[in-house]
Structure 1
Amino acid sequence: MEAKEATQSRDADTRRLAVMNAIELDEPEAIAVILEGFEDTDGVVRAEAARAIAEIPGPHMLPPLLKLLYDEDELVRKAAAETLAECNEEGLQDLYEDYISSDQAFVRAAVLRAVRPLRIAGAAPYALSGLSDESVQVRIESSGVLGYLQDPAYLQNLAGAALTDPSHEVRRTAMGALGYRSTAETVGALVRGLKDTAWQVREEAAATIAKLKAIEAGPALVGALGTETYWQVMAKILTALGRIRYKEGMGAAAEMLSYSVSNVRKEAALCLGEIGDARALPWLREALKDRDPDVKKLASWAIAKIEMA
């Protein structure tokens, strides 16, 4: 059955398959088949069209995708939002303002997510306003937009969201978004984030400190390592201590070489190797007896790195 004929079939599954397989056609015909799928009466077909158009990127994809953000079917709206977020089309700069202030939170969030990688400066006012939106998802995407813009003017706003937003998901996103500029305010917020009630936020705070190589956070990292109960956070703290080469943290890192979770022991060995202080050699040589071969391998690497320095 020809693709055009298949899109006119009374059977929704046949129409869905036609849209799904359109990528195998010549581009003009493929676009025509997929765009027809956008108008299909069946939600599953429309959702398939929203996913399929991602295979043929270009300005033609934006108007129908934006329209589908208002579709009555949730499956379709989600598919359109996911494709829009990945499209990275410059043409969106001419269209986003009509949707970014929509009265529907889902649409606001989807468009914010889509414009984020484009670093559209004009989206900043919407993102700043979005930090106080009633929708958690809008606040998450607003933090992401401001982080991608990498403008120091927004650090205070991001720090506020990272520390005070009621949603740990927003706080975590904002902590990560702070990772483009190391300032006293930024590092201060990250240090406070190490004490957040949600372990995911503490993990992100430690990861961002590592990214910024904020050595002034060293004492706070050591303190946090001594009280932390989640191994995922411990691992990120150890990564940060190694990244900033915080020699005063060697003892705390060495204690983690005997921790019950092997991922923590591996990060401890890496940390000591990155710090590169010969005083860590006795601890690392003891770690060569570890029951996990990866821990032994990393301890050996750390020893060699220190001895070659």
Structure 2
Amino acid sequence: MTNYDDPFLADLALRMQSEDSGVRRVAVMELVDSAEPEAVELLILGLKDDDSLVRQEAAKVIDEFEAGDMTEVLIEALMSTDEHVRQAASNAMSDIKDPRVAGSLIQTLNSHPQDPTVLAGVLRALKPMTVPEAMPLALQLIGHADAEVRREAAGVLGYLRDPSTLEALIALGQNDADSEVRRVATGTLRYGTAEQVAMPLIKALQDEHWQVRTEAAATLGRLGAGAAVKALMDATMDPYWQVREKAAETLGKLGDSKAIPALGKCAKDEVCNLRKAAIAAMGEIADISAMPYIQYAMDDPDPDVRKLARWALTKLDTAA
């Protein structure tokens, strides 16, 4: 073990060699007061400790260290037999944003193809790095048996924004058995063009899970997909208000006056968030046919709805 010049670290190092697990546990807890790169060696000791409580305390300390200094530690922690350590390392992986470590992360993917926790954690770290070298493995891993791995692999492909992966992401969003995987894959389609992905997103508005339908409605808004107006109008009658809200917001972005009657119904919904979204959308469209609905909203019990109604009226006046 390193001989530390810092008296504080030297004391921690001594206590972490104690035969008393309680002493070692307290020493690990005090690593938070250092969180310097020199203390990483002590953190590794804690993560490997024979006592599960010591390992769990070490896992809690992980987030206190700079992620860039922790790559090798986190990879090692992902392979721990202690679930608390593995989960903490997996969560912390997303904070590593230095592309220079991408090579070692990709090597880890190749070295541990059977461990879902390792694969998901490393993919989570690779996502914001947007390194093209990760694409082949991510494409391979969207077919993995573990849903979390498939979800993180889809996220990597989404960040890379490579048009050649759209077909695979569309298929994943339509066919995966896990609703969260479908949701993430659906969201990645925002990086395509409306011509490429509008129809799959319209289909996703019929998905059996409301979160996928919500994601599809939001993504259509980011694309400006005018072909989706009719499907989005239908989505304003979805059983889940979250879907109705996103559909209303997207209709406002698309600016098609044909949506006014559907938005007018939403403006009288019992959910105030939906009423606000509908009034805001009608203000964005700024068509005179929205006037009765906006005037009705001037007496809404929610002050935010009334405020939006006043704003929407000014938009109509400007457009007149």
Q: Is the 8 A contact 2:47 2:85 kept in 1?
A: no
Instruction: Quote the residue 2:199 is aligned against.
Output: 188
How far residue 10 of structure 1 moved from its aligned partner, in angstroms, is 4.1
User: 2:308 corresponds to which letter in structure 1?
Assistant: L
Note if 1:49 corresponds to 2:58. yes
- The answer to which of 26-35 and 141-150 deviates more is 26-35
How far residue 216 of structure 1 moved from its aligned partner, in angstroms, is 2.1
Q: Is the 8 A contact 1:38 1:64 kept in 2?
A: no
Tell me the TM-score normalised to structure 2 length: 0.89
Gaps of 5+ in 1: none
How far residue 110 of structure 1 moved from its aligned partner, in angstroms, is 1.4
- Aligned CA RMSD, in angstroms, stands at 2.0
- Counterpart CA distance in 2 for 1:184 and 1:44 is 55
Instruction: Quote the residue 1:98 is aligned against.
Output: 107
Question: Secondary structure in 1 aligned to 2:95?
Answer: helix
Instruction: Quote the residue 1:295 is aligned against.
Output: 305
Quick one: which of 230, 244, 256 aligns to 1:246?
A: 256
Instruction: Quote the residue 2:159 is aligned against.
Output: 148
Tell me the TM-score normalised to structure 1 length: 0.92
Q: Is the 8 A contact 1:15 1:45 kept in 2?
A: yes
How far residue 13 of structure 1 moved from its aligned partner, in angstroms, is 4.6
How many residue pairs get aligned? The number is 308
- Counterpart CA distance in 1 for 2:99 and 2:160 is 16
Quick one: which of 292, 296, 319 aligns to 1:286?
A: 296
Instruction: Quote the residue 2:316 is aligned against.
Output: 306
User: 2:74 corresponds to which letter in structure 1?
Assistant: L
Q: Is the 8 A contact 2:194 2:224 kept in 1?
A: no
- Counterpart CA distance in 1 for 2:35 and 2:142 is 44
Counterparts of residues 137-286 of structure 1 (less than 5 Å)? 137-226=148-237, 228-286=238-296
- Counterpart CA distance in 2 for 1:291 and 1:172 is 34
Q: Is the 8 A contact 2:62 2:89 kept in 1?
A: no
Q: Is the 8 A contact 1:43 1:75 kept in 2?
A: no
User: What is the aligned-residue identity percentage?
Assistant: 37
Segments ≥4 residues shifted beyond 4 Å: none
- Counterpart CA distance in 2 for 1:157 and 1:202 is 19
Q: Is the 8 A contact 1:71 1:77 kept in 2?
A: yes
- Counterpart CA distance in 2 for 1:308 and 1:6 is 73
